[in-house]
Amino acid sequence: MQTIDNPKYVFVCGLGRSGTSVLARNVARLENCTGFKNTGVLQDEGQFLQDVYPSDNVYGGAGAFGFDPRAHLTENSPLLTPENALKLRQSWERYWDQTKAIRVEKTPGNLLKTRFLQAVFPNSYFVVARRHPVPVSMANNQRWKVTFAPLHNLFDHWLHCYGLFEEDKSYLKHVYELTYEDYIENPSKCYDEIARFIGTRVPQVPKEDSFYHVTQWRDPVGLRVPESAMERVSGTHNEKYFKHWSQLLNDSPFKRYYRYIAATYEPKFAKYDYSLIKGFAVNEESVHQAARISTNTAAVYCRMADACAMLVRAAIRSRGYIKRRLRAQLPESAKLKVKHMLRKMAITKRPDLISS
């Protein structure tokens, strides 16, 4: 039986926008488990609560960090020293409930650090989530606009990161993998399997519960989540992105580009049981025809997508620069008034926050 003197460490990882945040919070609600909360950092991610290795943002952000070789850490990393191992453990231990024997951490980029973490935390378990590349890539594009990138680059990033994990997996002692699609279809089954995997049980649904807030990107209030009850999950978000992808394949002025990358990446994602063509109301033959173009034409498509992404990124960053300059000129009293106003507006839209 696991004891607080010999705890287990459960690392929930997978590319950003793969459902890892809600999954990690729900795993931390299993019996004898503890996770990070009320830390004040984005999504209570462990990467922001330590300084042994840089955060994903240093390596390019959600849709690019994996391309930087420094983001991939193993047991052979020069960062793996006794001093750093102790430092990392101490950084995270203070955020875990020390009365619980199973300690949960979640950082998407730890998908590329599993071997390193296993060396630092020998009694470690990895819960690895994978989601269809279309919603992952589109969500990263829309949510993290400062790292706006064309879809073919984001598809490459998805394949690169999970390809590295496939290579690392053989070195790991304890791994549980699940897809976002299976998770939203039958979350109870996933909780039961994860509980058995890490040696615990799914708790009874509490009769009463309290709530806390999770810090989110540019959200003055944060996400309100229950303390003990499992958070609900649904496929609504997936459907939204799938509908958008179908529109790009069928109606976009740039549909030749989208059909070209769909046909080009189809066999690569098929290895993971995902399709960019099937189920999107597009004529499959027309998509495959788009792939039968010259190398020069394909290069033009991708360069045009790169150029559009660069223009959008430049415009967004210019607006951000102007906002930062204006904010710097405001006195502290004005900044506080703006902050209170934003919070009041958020509460007006979400009156349930008042009770918490």
Q: Please write the tens of the pLDDT for every residue from 178-207.
A: 999 999 999 999 999 999 999 999 999 999
Angle value at C-alpha 104, between 100 and 106, nearest 5 degrees: 160
CB contact at 8 A, 106 and 21: yes
Residues 294 and 194 in one domain: no
Q: What are residue 281's phi and psi, to 5 degrees?
A: 55, 40
Q: Is 171 inside a domain boundary?
A: yes
CB contact at 8 A, 24 and 128: no
Residues 313 and 166 in one domain: no
Q: Which structural domain, as residue segments, surrounds residue 41?
A: 8-226
The phi-psi region of residue 29 (left if phi > 0; otherwise alpha if psi is between -120 and 50; otherwise beta) is alpha
Structure tokens at 256: 């030749």
Task: Please give the Cα distance from 97 to 234 (Å, whole number).
Answer: 29
Q: How many CA atoms lie within 13 A of 123 on its CB side?
A: 15
CB contact at 8 A, 45 and 104: no
Q: Is 239 inside a domain boundary?
A: no
Residues 222 and 344 in one domain: no
Q: What integer pLDDT is reported at residue 351 of this predicted model?
A: 45
- pLDDT tens-digit series, residues 268-304: 999 999 999 999 999 888 888 877 665 556 556 556 6
Boundary-marking domain end, from 195, 226, 257: 226
CB contact at 8 A, 121 and 131: no
Residues 213 and 259 in one domain: no
Q: Is 47 exposed, middle or buried (0-12, 13-18, 19+ CB in 10 A)?
A: buried
Q: Is 28 inside a domain boundary?
A: yes
Q: Is 2 inside a domain boundary?
A: no
pTM for the whole thing? Answer: 0.83
Task: Please give the Cα distance from 28 to 104 (Å, whole number).
Answer: 6
Q: Which of 259, 190, 284 is nearest to 231 (CA)?
A: 190
Residues 76 and 143 in one domain: yes
Give the chain's residues under pLDDT 70. 1-3, 141-148, 292-356
Residues 312 and 205 in one domain: no
Quote the number of domains for the chain: 2
Residues 274 and 184 in one domain: no
H/E element, 172: none
Residues 205 and 295 in one domain: no
- Provide the CATH number for the domain around residue 157: 3.40.50.300
The CA-to-CA distance between both ends of the chain, in Å, stands at 36
Residues 87 and 214 in one domain: yes
Q: What integer pLDDT is reported at residue 355 of this predicted model?
A: 36
Q: Is 244 inside a domain boundary?
A: no
Residues 16 and 121 in one domain: yes
